[in-house]
Structure 1
Amino acid sequence: MPVAAVQALQPLTVLVAAPGVSGFIATAEARMQGRRGPRVLQPYYDLAKLFRKESLAPVGASAVFLAAPVLAMVCYLTVPLLIPVLTSYGLPLGYMGDILGGGIILSLASFAVAVGAAETGSPYAQLGSSRSKTFAAITEPVMLFVVFAVALVTGTDLPYAMAATVRSGADQILRPSHLLAAAALFLVILYETGRIPVEAHRSTNEFGMIEEARSFEYSGPYFALLTWGSAMKQLILYTILINVFLAPWGLSSTRDASDVVLAVVLLVAKALVIGLVVAVIDNSFAKLRLFKITEFVAAAFLLAVLAVFTLYLGGG
C-alpha cells in the first residue's frame, strides 16, 4: 500500500470504528443489567437518522455555534495522524507533534464545543460548558504528569518512540512508574468519556450533566457531528492507552495490505476489551456527588506524581 493510503487509513479507521465501539459498550452494559439493550450497530443508525434531520440554531447564536462541531470533528480527525493507530513505524505526518500536541488538539476540540454551548444562552448548555472547563483545569495537569513520567522512562514524548520502548520487552510494562502512569491515564479516560464518577453515559440528569449538556441545543447534522466526535474521542483515548502504554503489539510493521488490515482488526479487538472493562466498572460503582469529582481526579493526580517519584527512587 502507498504510504499516503496507510496514513489516511488511520483517521478513517477511528472515524468508522468509533460508533461501533460505543455501541458494543452500550450493549454490554445493558446485558450486565439484565436488559436486552440496543443493537451494537445502533449508533450508526442514529447518526444516519440525525444527518437526515433539520438543523436549528437558537435565536441570537453566532456563527461560532455552528462552527464548533465542525472544528471539533477536524481536531478528532487530526489526532490519529500523530499516534500509532495501525503502524509501529512513524508515518510522514506522525512526527508533526508529540503526545502533548495531541493532547492540546483534543483540548481545543473540547474548548470549541464548550464555547459553542455557551453561545446558546441555554442554562443547561452553559452549565455543562462551565463544568467541563472547570474540571478540565484539574484533569490536564494529570495528563502532563503522565506524559512527563513516561517521557522520563523512554527519553522522548513522541508516541511512536514511547510505543517502541514498551514493545521492546514485557519488563517495560511492569516498571512500577509505568504502571502508575498508565493507571492515572485510565482514571482520566473514565472521566473524559463520561463513565464515572458523576455522569452516567448519555445521561440527561441535570445534576450530573457535563458532556451531554454541552450538545443540548444542537440538532440534525450538527448534533450528529458532536455525537460522532464524542465516540471518536473515546476511541482515540483507548488507542493511546493500548497502543502507547499497555499493549502496543499487533501494529503493522510493513505497508503490506494484509498486515494493515490485520492491524485494523486487532485495534478494534483491543478497544472492545478496554470497553468491556469500562462497562464492568461503570456498572459496579454508584455515581458520586458532583463535588466528589475533585477527589476522583486527585487520586489520578496522586498516581501520576507517584509515578515520577517512583522513577527517581529506583522504580522506573
Structure 2
Amino acid sequence: MAVTLSPYLVQALQPLTVLVAAPGLSGWIAKVEARLQGRRGPRVSQPYHDLVKLFGKESLAPYGASRFFLAAPVVAMCCYLTVPLLIPVLTTFGLPLGYAGDIIGGSFLLALASFSVAVAAAESGSPYAQLGASRSKTFGAITEPVMLFVVFTVAMITATDLPYAQAAAVRSSGDQVIRPAHLLASAALFLVILYETARIPVETHTGTNEFGMIEEARAFEHSGPHLALLKWGSAMKQLILYTILLDVFLAPWGLSSTTGVLSVVLAIGALIGKTALLGCVVAVIDNSFAKLRLFKISEFVAAAFLLAVLAVFTLYLGGG
C-alpha cells in the first residue's frame, strides 16, 4: 500500500523545495558557465557555503537608515516563500492554498519583494545602492507591465488566470504547447525572465562593480544575515520564475497527480531536472552574447512586449 502525505504537508513542501534548491540552481548555472568558458569554476554547492558564512557574520545598518532597511530582506523573503504556494511546483492539482491567488497575485508579490529591496537600497545613502534601486524601478516600470501583459495573453489563450488551471490546459494536449500564440507568449516571458534574473544580454550578476549593475548593486550596504537573505531571495526568485515558465507555460509534466510519497519525491526530482536543463540554456545564452548597453535594456524589453502583442494578434487571427 502506497504511503500518502497530508495535502497540507505537500503544500509546505512546495516553498521548502524552492527554498532548499534555489542556491543549488545558481551554483549549477555558475558551474556550467565556467565550463563553457574553459574554467574549472566554483563548486555547485558554493552558494550554500556563502550563505552559511554570511549567516555567521554581523548585520550592520548605515547611519540614518530606518528599521525598514533591516526589515526589507525579511519582507522580500516572505514574498518569495508565498509565491510557491500559489503555483504548481510539485502537484498537478490545487493544494489547500493553491487557489488562494491567481498568477497576477503572484506577480504582485514578486513586484512587492523587488520594491521592498529597492526602498531599502535607497535608504542606505550609498551612491551605488541608490543607483541600482533607481535603475531597478526605472526598468521595472517597463518590465512589470510586460509580464502582466504576458499573463493576460496566456489567460486569454487558456481562458483562466489560475496557474493550476493554466497548466492543466497546456497539459491536456501536446498541441497546446506548440500553438503559435502560446509560443510567442512563452518567448516574451523568457525574455522578461532573462532581465529579472540579471542574465545576458542585460546586466552583470557576478557582483563586480560595474555601472551596469542593477540586482547586485541594491544589496551593497547590507551585510551578514540580511545580505544572506537578499542573496537567497534572489536565487529563489530565479527558481520561481523558471518554475512558472516550465510548470505553467512550456512543460507542465513530471508533476505529481497524488500525494503519495514516491510520486512527490519524483516530482521534486523532475523539477530539479527541468530547471537545471533550463539553466544550461540560460548559461549558453549568457556566454554567447556581449552585454547590452544600459540604454538598450528598454529596446530588449520592447522586444518582449512586441512578442506578447503578436501573441494576442495571432490568437484573434486564428493562429492561437
Does structure 1 residue 258 correspond to structure 2 residue 262? yes
Would you say the 8 A contact 2:15–2:85 is kept in 1? yes
Deviation at 1:144, TM superposition (A): 1.6
Deviation at 1:308, TM superposition (A): 0.5
**What's the counterpart of residue 146 of structure 2?**
142
**Counterpart Cα distance in 2 of 1:210 and 1:124:** 9
Determine if the alignment matches structure 1 residue 28 to structure 2 residue 32.
yes
Residues in 1 aligned to 2:140 and 2:226: alpha-carbon distance in whole angstroms: 23
Find the counterpart in structure 1 of residue 239 from structure 2. 235
Asked if the contact 1:50–1:220 (Cα under 8 Å) also holds between the matched residues in 2, the reply is: yes
Whether the aligned pair in 2 keeps the contact of 1:90 and 1:160 (CA below 8 Å) is yes
In 1, Cα distance between the equivalents of 2:200 and 2:34?
16
Q: Normalising to structure 2: TM-score of the pair? A: 0.98
- 2 CA distance for matches of 1:41 and 1:78? 25
Which of 173, 189, 192 does residue 193 from structure 2 map onto?
Answer: 189
Q: How large is the Cα RMSD of the aligned pairs?
A: 0.6
Post-superposition offset of 1:206: 2.9
Please name the residue that 2:249 is paired with. Answer: 245
8 Å Cα contact 1:50/1:223 also seen in 2: yes
Show CA shifts across 1:4-41 (max 9, x none): 10000000000000000000000000010011110000
How many angstroms does 1:250 deviate by? 0.5
Match of 2:69 in 1: 65
Report if the CA contact (8 A) 2:33-2:284 is conserved. Answer: yes
Match of 1:308 in 2: 312
- In the TM superposition, what is the alpha-carbon distance from 1:203 to its structure 2 partner? 3.3
Q: Retained in 1: the 8 A contact 2:107–2:148? A: no
Q: What's the offset of the Cα at 1:202?
A: 2.0
How many residue pairs get aligned? The number is 316
Q: Which residue of 1 aligns with 2:212?
A: 208
Q: Distance in 1 between matches of 2:258 and 2:238?
A: 27
SS across alignment from 1:86 = coil
Tell me the residue number matched to 1:297: 301
Matched, 1:285 2:306: no
Give per-residue Cα distances to partners, 1:158-217, cap 9 Å, x unaligned.
000000000001100011000000000000000000002231212323311100000000
Find the residue that maps to 1:211 and give its secondary structure.
Answer: coil
Deviations 1:88-123 (CA, angstroms, capped at 9, x unpaired): 000110111100000000000000000000110110
Match of 1:173 in 2: 177
1:111 alignment counterpart: 115
Matching of residues 126-137 of structure 1 within 5 Å: 126-137=130-141
How many Å separate the matches in 2 of 1:279 and 1:264?
22
- Give the Cα–Cα distance (whole angstroms) in 1 for the partners of residues 128 and 301 of structure 2: 23
SS in 2 for 1:243: helix
Whether contact under 8 Å (1:98, 1:158) holds in the other structure is yes
**Superposition TM-score, scaled by structure 1 size:** 0.99
> In structure 2, what is the Cα distance between the partners aligned to 1:139 and 1:103?
11
The answer to whether the aligner puts 1:122 opposite 2:126 as a matched pair is yes
Amino acid at match of 1:71: V
- State the 1:86 CA deviation: 0.1
Residues of 2 paired with 1:284 and 1:295: CA distance?
19
| 8 Å Cα contact 2:92/2:256 also seen in 1 | yes
CA distance in 2 between partners of 1:208 and 1:198 (Å): 8
Gaps of 5+ in 2: none
What are the superposed Cα offsets for residues 249-308 of structure 1, whole Å, 9 maximum, x if unpaired? 010000100000000000000000000000000000000110000010000000000001
Q: 1:198 to 1:143 in 2, by over 3 A?
A: closer
| d(CA) in 2 for partners of 1:152, 1:77 | 28
SS at match of 1:102: helix
Equivalent residues of 1:197, 1:288 under 8 A apart? yes
Question: Contact 1:124 / 1:206 at 8 angstroms: preserved in 2?
Answer: no
Name the residue aligned to 1:4: 8
Aligned-pair identity in percent equals 78
Q: Give, in whole Å, the separation in 2 of the partners of 1:34 and 1:205.
A: 23
The letter for the 2-side match of 1:299 is A
Displacement of 1:145: 1.5
Aligned equivalents of 2:64, 2:155: Cα separation in 1: 46
The residue type equivalent to 2:301 in the other structure is: V
User: Letter of the aligned partner of 1:3 in structure 2?
Assistant: P
C-alpha deviation, 1:148, in angstroms? 1.2
